[in-house]
Structure 1
Amino acid sequence: MTLEFNPDFPSMDDLRNKAKSRIPKFAFEYLDGGCNEDVNLRRNTSELREVQLKPHYLRDFNGASMKTKILGMKYDAPFGIAPVGLQGLMWPNSPEILARAAFLHNIPFVLSTVTTTSIERASELTEGRAWFQLYHPTENSLRDDIIKRAAAAECPVLVILCDVPTFGFRPRDIRNGLAMPPKMSIKNIFQVLGRPYWAFNTLKYGQPNFETLRPYMPKGLDLKQLGKFMDQTFSGRLNEEKIKPIRDMWKGKLVLKGVASEADTEEAIRLGLDGIIVSNHGGRQLDAGESTIKPLKTIASTYGEKIEVMMDSGLRSGPDVARAMACGAKFTFMGRSFMYGTAALGKKGGDHTISILKTQLQQVMEQLCCERVTDLPQHLI
Structure 2
Amino acid sequence: MSWKYNTDYPSVDDLRNKAKSKMPRFAFEYLDGGCNEDVNLFRNTSDIRDLELLPYYLKDFKEVSLKTTLFGHTYDAPFGIAPVGLQGLIWPNAPEILAKAAFEHNVPFVLSTVSTSSIESIMKITEGNAWYQLYHPAESHITDDIINRAEASGCKVLVILCDVPSFGFRPRDIRNGLAMPPKMSIRNMLQIVGRPEWALRTLFHGQPAFETMKPYMPKGLNMKQLGLYMNKTFSGRLNAERISSIRDKWKGKLVLKGVATEEDAQMAISLGLDGVIVSNHGGRQLDAGQSSIKPLVPIAEKYKDKITVMMDSGIRSGPDVARTIAAGADFTFLGRTFMYGVGALGNEGGNHTIGMLKTQLKQVMDQLGCERVEDLHKHLSL
> What amino acid is the match of 1:371?
E
Separation in 2 of the partners of 1:167 and 1:98? 25
Question: Does 1:341 find its partner at 2:344?
Answer: no
Separation in 2 of the partners of 1:48 and 1:128? 32
Encode CA deviations 1:102-148: one digit per residue, 9 max, x unaligned: 00000000000000000000000001101000000000000000000
Using the size of structure 1 for normalisation, the TM-score is 0.99
Could you tell me whether the CA contact under 8 Å between 2:86 and 2:116 is conserved in 1?
yes
Separation in 2 of the partners of 1:57 and 1:258? 37
Could you tell me whether the CA contact under 8 Å between 2:2 and 2:359 is conserved in 1?
no
> What amino acid is the match of 2:188?
N
Separation in 1 of the partners of 2:320 and 2:62? 23
Separation in 2 of the partners of 1:240 and 1:294? 24
Separation in 1 of the partners of 2:274 and 2:20? 38
Could you tell me whether the CA contact under 8 Å between 2:257 and 2:279 is conserved in 1?
yes
Matched with 2:109 is 109
Question: Does 1:32 find its partner at 2:37?
Answer: no
Matches within 5 A, 1:84-99: 84-99=84-99
Matched with 1:7 is 7
Separation in 2 of the partners of 1:62 and 1:156? 34
> What amino acid is the match of 1:169?
F
Encode CA deviations 1:35-57: one digit per residue, 9 max, x unaligned: 00000000000010000000000
Structure 2: gaps of 5 or more residues: none
Matched with 1:248 is 248
Question: Does 1:210 find its partner at 2:210?
Answer: yes
Q: For residue 259 of structure 1, report the CA deviation from its aligned partner.
A: 0.1
Matches within 5 A, 1:1-381: 3-381=3-381
Encode CA deviations 1:175-220: one digit per residue, 9 max, x unaligned: 0000000000000000000000100000000000000011111110
Structure 2 residue matching 1:189: 3-state secondary structure: helix
Structure 2 residue matching 1:347: 3-state secondary structure: helix
Structure 1 residue matching 2:69: 3-state secondary structure: strand
Q: For residue 310 of structure 1, report the CA deviation from its aligned partner.
A: 0.1
> What amino acid is the match of 1:23?
M
Encode CA deviations 1:330-357: one digit per residue, 9 max, x unaligned: 0000000000000000000000000000
Q: For residue 328 of structure 1, report the CA deviation from its aligned partner.
A: 0.4
Q: For residue 4 of structure 1, report the CA deviation from its aligned partner.
A: 1.0
Structure 2 residue matching 1:151: 3-state secondary structure: helix
> What amino acid is the match of 1:279?
S
Runs of 4+ that moved beyond 3 A: none
Separation in 2 of the partners of 1:64 and 1:129? 25
Q: For residue 2 of structure 1, report the CA deviation from its aligned partner.
A: 5.0
Could you tell me whether the CA contact under 8 Å between 2:183 and 2:223 is conserved in 1?
yes
Q: Identity of counterpart residues, as a percentage?
A: 70
Structure 1 residue matching 2:258: 3-state secondary structure: strand
Q: For residue 70 of structure 1, report the CA deviation from its aligned partner.
A: 1.1
Q: For residue 73 of structure 1, report the CA deviation from its aligned partner.
A: 1.4
> What amino acid is the match of 2:119?
I
Matched residue pairs, number?
381
> What amino acid is the match of 2:133?
Q
Separation in 2 of the partners of 1:156 and 1:16? 32
Separation in 2 of the partners of 1:94 and 1:231? 24
> What amino acid is the match of 1:358?
K
Separation in 1 of the partners of 2:195 and 2:284? 26
Q: Pairwise CA RMSD of aligned residues? A: 0.6
